[in-house]
Amino acid sequence: MMVTSSVPQDLSRSRRTVFGYFGILTFLIYIASPHNYLLDIASSYLLKNQLHATASQISLFRVLTAAPIYVSFLFGLSRDLWNPFGLRDRGFLLLFGSAALLTYLTLSALRLSYVSLFVGMILAMIAFRFIAAASQGLMALVAQEQLMSGRLSALWQIIAMAGTFVAGVGGGYVAGHLTYAQIFWVLAAITAPIGLIGLWKPKAVFATVYDKPQARGLDFIGDVKRLAKHRAIYPPILIIFLFQFTPGLNTPMQFYLSNTLHAPDAVYGEFNGLVSASFIPAFLIYGFLCKRLPLKTLLWIGSIVTVPQLVPLAFIRSGNEALILAVPMGLMGGLAVCAFADLTMRSCPNGLQGSLMMLVEGIGLLSLRASDAFGSAVYDANPHKGFLYCVIATTLVYALILPILLLIPKEIIASTEEGAGQASPIGA
C-alpha cells in the first residue's frame, strides 16, 4: 500500500493561512487608513461643503496631514526596536489599532471644525503609520524566512488595489449620504478588527518567526549604521523614487482631460479606476512567474515594459480614448510593481524589515507629491503642450530605472523566490 505524505498538504494549508492573515490585515489597513481614499475623499467634501474651504486650503490640508508618511522610516525603525507588551508586531496592532479606533470615535463625538479634523487626522495617521510598519515589516520577515517574497508581493499588491478601489467607491458614497459623525462610526467599525488581529496568533505566521537570524537586530545606533552600510537597500530606494515620479499623471492629466479635451469630470476618476483594476491580472501573472523565473529576469521584463507606459497618453484626443488606453497601461505596469516590491522585501537587512519597507514607502510618497508639483508647474507654463512634456519627462525618468538594475547585488536577484534563501545574505 502506498502511503501519501501529508507534508505537502500541511505546507499548502500553512501558506493559505499566511495569505489569509496578510490579506485580511492589508485590506483593512487600505480601507481605514486616513491617507487612503475613504477618509481622504470624505474629509475633502467635509472641508469644501461644510467648512467652505477653498481648493488651495484643501490641498494644503492634504499635504500637512500626510506629514507622518514623509518620515515613515522612523515608524519602521520603531517597529524594529520596540516590543509593545512583549508581543512584537501583534503588540503594535493591538496598541495602535486601539488608538486609531479611539481617535475615530472621539472625532465622531466632536463638533466638526478645521482644527478638530486636522488634529484627529494627524493622530490617526500616526497610529496607522505604526500599524503599517508592523504589517509590512512582518510581511517582509515572513517572506524572507518562508521564501515567499514573490507571492506575498503579488498578494500585497492585489489586496491593496482591491482595498483602494473599495475605499474610493466608499469615499464618494459616505461623503454624499452620511453625516459627519456617521462617517467616523463607519471608520471606527472598520478599524476595530485591526486591533483584534493583534490577538490572533496563527502558527503558520508566528511559530518561529522571531527565532531565526532574519529577525535579529542590534540596538538603535548599531541598526542605523548597519542599515546605512547595507548596499542592497539603495537600488530599491532609487527605483521606487523614480517609479513614483510621474508628473504626467494626477493634476496635469486631470486638467488636460477637463480643460483641453473637455471630458466630463468623472472621466479622470474612471481612468484611475480602470488603471488600478488592470494591474490585477499582471499581479496574478507575477504570482505564477515568481516561482519559475529568477527575480533578475522579472525585474528586467517589468522595467522594460513599464518604461513606455504613459506614452499612449500623448496621443489621446478624447476622454473615451483615455479610458480605452487605461487597460493596457495598467497591464504594462503590473509586473514592475510586484517586482519592485519583491526586491524590497529581499533587500531588507536582518531585523530591519520595518525600517526599509517604511523608508521605501515614504520615499515613494515624497516623489509622487514632488512630481505632481513639478508637473503642475510645467502644465501651467504651457497649457497646450505642458501635458505632452509631462508624459515625455515621465518616460525619461522611467528609463533611468534600467541602469539602476545593474547596481543590485547579484546574489539577491539570481534565483526564484524559493531559491532565494540559498543564495545570499538577503537579510545580512
Q: What is the pLDDT of residue 55?
A: 60
Give the span between the Cα atoms of 114 and 46, in whole angstroms. Answer: 9
Is residue 37 pLDDT above 90, yes or no? Answer: no
Mean pLDDT confidence for 388-414: 94
Question: Which grid cell is 308?
Answer: 513606455
Q: Residues 222-254: pLDDT tens digits?
A: 778 888 889 999 999 999 999 999 887 777 887
* CATH class of the structural domain 226-416+423-428: mainly alpha
Q: Which residue has the cell 517582509?
A: 140
Q: Which residue has the cell 514592475?
A: 336
Judge whether 212 and 145 are in contact, CB under 8 Å. yes
Judge whether 47 and 117 are in contact, CB under 8 Å. yes
Give the span between the Cα atoms of 231 and 421, in whole angstroms. Answer: 18
**How many residues belong to the chain?**
428
Q: What is the pLDDT of residue 419?
A: 67
CB within 8 Å of 162: residues ≥ 6 apart:
27, 280
Q: What is the pLDDT of residue 48?
A: 81
User: What's the pTM?
Assistant: 0.85
DSSP string, 280-341: HHHHHHHHHHTTTS-HHHHHHHHHHHHTTTTGGGGG--SHHHHHHHHHHHHHHHHHHHHHHH
271 versus 186: which is more confidently predicted?
186
Angle at 257 between CA 255 and CA 258, to 5 degrees: 65
DSSP 250: S
CA distances from 246 to 90, 117, 204, 242 (A): 36, 30, 39, 8
Q: 426 falls in which pLDDT band (50, 70, 90)?
A: very low
Query: In whole numbers, what is the pLDDT of the chain averaged over residues?
Result: 87
Two domains, one topology: 14-216 and 226-416+423-428: yes
CA distances from 182 to 27, 105, 186, 195 (A): 21, 10, 6, 21
Q: How many CA atoms lie within 13 A of 16 on its CB side?
A: 6
How is the chain split into domains, by residue range?
14-216, 226-416+423-428
Q: What is the pLDDT of residue 198?
A: 95
Fold of the domain built from segment(s) 14-216:
Growth Hormone; Chain: A; (1.20.1250)
Is residue 422 pLDDT above 70, yes or no? Answer: no
User: What share of the chain has pLDDT > 90, as a percent?
Assistant: 52
Is residue 257 pLDDT above 90, yes or no? Answer: no
Q: Residues 192-214: pLDDT tens digits?
A: 999 999 999 999 999 888 877 66
Q: What is the pLDDT of residue 424?
A: 43
Is residue 221 pLDDT above 80, yes or no? Answer: no
Judge whether 232 and 347 are in contact, CB under 8 Å. yes
Q: What is the pLDDT of residue 215?
A: 60
